[in-house]
Structure 1
């Protein structure tokens, strides 16, 4: 694929705003100030020794017979109107929404355009970049290593990887649940300028960590929550070391293939398989909106580089939320959701996934694309939202506004809502 010529860069009047958004990435949570609280005591290691868990043989996904039947027309019409209203208000070029409600039916709609230049419509079959939903795959890979007995969740990362600040005290669990205290490289101004000056260039994982490790840790491990892409990059390197293969190969062979996701990819570079939607972002040095389709996602790597489509994410939502690829004991550890300021009662962040409004899963955001993939155990329901912009509207990620609008109508007792940027 020919690399598009980068637009001429003007003065960096949006670098500081972009640094914040890249660091926050998908949860729209600000930096939490360090405190002097004592770190929580470590728990009992899970899977550090003993008999490795044998993954069950997976059979084709089974869905309720009525899952592919259409929703009640009146409900579908309300959803149509709400989605279009959010699309117009946020200026989103195109969006696809999939909602599966066993016992009530399903709803799949695409509206708007996939390519502003040609006017090609958004359709449900398109591939899009899924940003930090990648974390769900990377952490699943780590948890599979736990089930193999190759590591324990409460082992220090310093046992396996050298050079991590305070690595002798930061555990695998704390990395996966975003409580390590490590500075996120996406906050670093030098990183942001390097990325936006040439967004087509590749970044190596150790290069990303170099931007993070020149800063002091933000707080003692285990004492607070702060969303940091540095955590997941370290987990990716951990998978490579213990899995004895490149992360993208391990994820493909041990996570994507067993989950039977035929259109999910961990790219080597900036490739994006046909058919795909173009992405649009104002996270640029100039602040102008640009086509970011071919920006190299290697800067997100284990934390945000992957690609998928509506069909695969529909299946992945339940696989992730119910722990199909993991032992019951390890899945139980994954679902120990730590409360997060602003998330609301009963919500929180677990090991590479979150729970909000009763929905379990993750969302994703990187320049040009956003997504939400969540599962509601109480109703065996699944919601997937894919859109081709990340431009914030009144401090809110557009994906959050779409998910809130859909759930307020379809599952009013379980509304998906994340806090706005401050």
Structure 2
């Protein structure tokens, strides 16, 4: 990718990838394909496993081959994959290297940046405030925060469901220049909003789906205002700790617990590949700054999809969780997006991408199966496909051929 086209991917790619923080060279609006069906979650089958193949040695071998094929084709340095179905053997394997310079092997215990999977956590905090009666999903954001364009009309539901019409700050050329000229600089939420608010609103709220990180910055500020806590502190106390997640962090700056993988991106000022472990993710804040590991995301997948903590207590009340999982069409065939969560061919969860790292964490209720993929690059395949999508597709073709996790390329999505 040349320096003239290096942009933090958003626009069509972000609409297709649903959870990425990075965007395509030309930027642009969300995909405008014919309306897709509203994705819904099949009811669990009696056995809980009929939709997923048993993890026999032969199936595990096919998975190994599928993962290695994606790695070769997309030039991915390292990846860790986990597949879990109750009552069946687990599949947890790492491939390649965590650091190309040192040759450190990729392993399942490494901390990784998870990008837009952060959105599931931030929206969970909002939904907990809804349960407590502190805010309402259909309240306009202007009731809580001043200075938001169309703030008297954009609801919390519009923000969480990516239907606000607010410009995505990470598509702003000035923002891209500021970030790539000094990747370790801190950004405040207010600075991020300023990049968005210099642009006119793209459409009236609720009219269509358009993925925008701006929405989550506003929701993060809402959580802080109504809870009286810093967002990271709130999430730790009310979401992360109750879920029993011991290796999940909302960093204040560029701190990165060890051991972690080195990340590799071409989203740079020069377009050349650079290492990103030391980049400051404050530019993503409530939209994508979090860090986690394989085991914690295994726990989180089911917790997010069910609204229930591992000890059986409610993370989010059933009525609110039902609204969360109502996933209207996105314009992407087979994919619906609810409140900070997607449903792609029955797989519920989110993906994440920010410079150097990608993640995919999904749960198939019909089989109670979880898939987590963590990798240390965000460099797209042939310039338009997120590598996490390639892994998700390859893995689910093997284990759940009736539920293949697939998101089309921008060209296919916008035809």
Q: TM-score of the superposition, structure 1-length normalised?
A: 0.86
Instruction: Specify the SS of the correspondent of 1:120.
Output: coil
Give 1:12 deviation, angstroms.
Answer: 4.0
- Is 1:280–1:291's contact at 8 Å kept on the other side of the alignment? yes
Task: Give the direction of change, closer, same or farther, for the CA distance of 1:408–1:167 in structure 2 (3 Å limit).
Answer: same
Distance 1:180 1:167 in 2: 10
Distance 1:365 1:343 in 2: 21
Structure 1 residue 261 and structure 2 residue 251: aligned?
Answer: no
Give 1:34 deviation, angstroms.
Answer: 11
Structure 1 residue 406 and structure 2 residue 390: aligned?
Answer: no
- Is 1:31–1:226's contact at 8 Å kept on the other side of the alignment? no
Instruction: Specify the SS of the correspondent of 2:97.
Output: strand
After the TM superposition, which residues 201-220 of structure 1 pair with which residues of structure 2 at under 5 Å, given as runs?
201-220=185-204
Q: Which residue of 2 aligns with 1:363?
A: 351
Q: Which residue of 1 aligns with 2:4?
A: 13
2:362 corresponds to which of 370, 374, 379: 374
Distance 1:384 1:207 in 2: 33
Q: CA RMSD of the aligned region, Å? A: 2.0
Distance 1:139 1:31 in 2: 25
Structure 1 residue 118 and structure 2 residue 102: aligned?
Answer: yes
Distance 2:114 2:16 in 1: 11
Partner deviation per Cα, 1:138-163 (whole Å, 9 max, x = no partner)? 00000000011001100000000000
Task: Give the direction of change, closer, same or farther, for the CA distance of 1:298–1:97 in structure 2 (3 Å limit).
Answer: same
Distance 2:180 2:115 in 1: 17
Q: TM-score of the superposition, structure 2-length normalised?
A: 0.87
Instruction: Specify the SS of the correspondent of 1:373.
Output: strand
Task: Give the direction of change, closer, same or farther, for the CA distance of 1:141–1:33 in structure 2 (3 Å limit).
Answer: closer
2:380 corresponds to which of 381, 392, 404: 392
User: Bigger relative contact order, structure 1 or 2, given CA contacts below 8 A and separation 6+?
Assistant: 2
Instruction: Specify the SS of the correspondent of 2:185.
Output: coil
Structure 1 residue 337 and structure 2 residue 333: aligned?
Answer: no
Runs of 4+ aligned structure 1 residues displaced above 6 Å come to none
Q: How many residues align?
A: 377
- Is 2:16–2:408's contact at 8 Å kept on the other side of the alignment? no
Structure 1 residue 129 and structure 2 residue 129: aligned?
Answer: no
Distance 2:371 2:10 in 1: 29
Distance 1:352 1:132 in 2: 9
Structure 2, unpaired ranges of 5+: 33-47, 49-53, 309-314
- Is 2:7–2:267's contact at 8 Å kept on the other side of the alignment? no
